[in-house]
Chain A
């Protein structure tokens, strides 16, 4: 895969170790990754470089700005960017959509989960050209766990 063809993702998690582990796992699968531990800096970076990113993966609870606010602001800048939120809650995307209609996400990744599952879910959620969006929707409620060990 050439650098130009690589899919790119912005990873935002206030825990540096977790951000780095995710970055390494995605890079191994051929993604171009930039990680931030500060969501405000991540947003500022995205404002300047939005065309460079296909996707964003963010934690929910972070100091300064939570993942929900980050999602809203990022979507306002680039509506077609794919958004994935990491959470320890057992909640489906459809349930989240009902209670938080302004937070438009493409996937919820339940923590903790193995890295291969995280990468697989992100690849599945971004593969809209090969798979229909609906087929991802069907799989969306499957619980996934992130294992940072």
Chain B
């Protein structure tokens, strides 16, 4: 897998993928790289409450049980976020942001790394279902949050997978990419 998995900290990354295997592989790779560097890794997925799906994903995360128990890995459901985002309601995202910032404060107090890697697929699910306006609304919020974190020197990187083909075919690739600080294209082996 040759995607950039070590971007400079505090980016809002659009990771364009060509198929589901590629998306999943790259997402887990980011999580594992973050854990290796001692970062808090957050896997935030619309499918996190789907037991069979998430079990398969978690099995690919390095020492996931140990990392969860130590508070280094947080697996988070975005299902409610997705349905609220369809109505333009981003209140859940604001709670998520508050939680992340609080966890960072606590990690600093505990002498742990204050760097965070988040892989979040709510906007990806909106793209896949061609809810592009709602997707842009979510990504614009993440981008504004990214700017706020930059100003506050908070080292939080958010990786947003998006389906390359769907965005290209529907002429939304540039518009959605523009809501990010870094554009990456997945290149699996």
**Chain A interface residues (CB < 8 Å from chain B):** 60-61, 66, 68, 87-91, 95, 98-103
Residues from chain B with a CB closer than 8 A to the CB of A90 are 49, 76-77, 79-80
- Contact status of A101 and B98, CB under 8 A, knowing A88-B91, A90-B80: no
Residues from chain B with a CB closer than 8 A to the CB of A61 are 94-95, 98
Assembly CA distance A89 to B80 (angstroms): 8
Contact (Cβ within 8 A) A100 B80: no
Chain A-chain B contacts (Cβ-Cβ < 8 Å), number: 51
Assembly CA distance A100 to B71 (angstroms): 8
Closest A residue to B48 using CB positions:
A90
Assembly CA distance A109 to B94 (angstroms): 16
Mostly helix, strand, loop or mixed at chain A's interface? Answer: loop
Assembly CA distance A88 to B91 (angstroms): 7
Contact (Cβ within 8 A) B92 A100: no
- Chain B residues with a Cβ closer than 8 Å to the other chain, count: 23
Contact (Cβ within 8 A) A98 B69: yes
Assembly CA distance A102 to B94 (angstroms): 21
- Contact status of A100 and B106, CB under 8 A, knowing A61-B98, A89-B96: yes
Taking the nearest CB of chain B, how far is it from the CB of A5, in angstroms?
36
Residues from chain B with a CB closer than 8 A to the CB of A102 are 106, 109
**Which of B76, B79, B91, B109 is close to A91, meaning CB atoms less than 8 Å apart?**
B76
Contact (Cβ within 8 A) A88 B92: yes
Interface digits, B162-184 against A, CB 8 Å rule (1 contact, 0 not)?
00000000000000000000000
Interface digits, B86-113 against A, CB 8 Å rule (1 contact, 0 not)?
0000011011101100110010010000
Assembly CA distance A98 to B103 (angstroms): 10
Contact (Cβ within 8 A) A66 B98: yes
**Which of B40, B49, B68, B99 is close to A89, meaning CB atoms less than 8 Å apart?**
B99
Assembly CA distance A36 to B142 (angstroms): 31
- Scoring B40, B77, B96, B99 by chain A CB atoms within 10 A of each residue's CB, the highest score goes to B99
